[in-house]
Amino acid sequence: MTTLVGYASLACVAAGIVAAGVVLLVSRSGRLALRVALDLWVAAGLLRLALPPQWDQLLGTAAIIAVRQLVTVALTPRGGDPG
């Protein structure tokens, strides 16, 4: 089970990189590509939390979520829609 979760987490990380590249090529929006990548990396972190709990996994997931929130706030246009 732990091997399966580890591979699924790695797949989410790789999918985040690939999906961000595709979004960047199609939409030419770096902001949107970064948000897509960060969403998939959050999913990878949450998958790792399905394993027996370890502090480094919890802190890594919390760090990814914090970075995602900060990037979203920093890249949101003033008075605009974040989507």
- What pTM was estimated for this model as a whole? 0.70
pLDDT, one tens digit per residue, over 1-15 is 678 888 888 899 899
Span 39-68, average pLDDT: 82
Could you tell me the residue range of the domain that residue 57 belongs to?
A: 2-75
51: CB partners within 8 A, 6+ apart? 2, 5, 6, 57
CA 22-16-60 angle, to 5 degrees, is 155
Q: Is 83 inside any structural domain?
A: no
Q: Is 46 inside any structural domain?
A: yes
CA 14-67-78 angle, to 5 degrees, is 115
| Number of folded domains that form the chain | 1
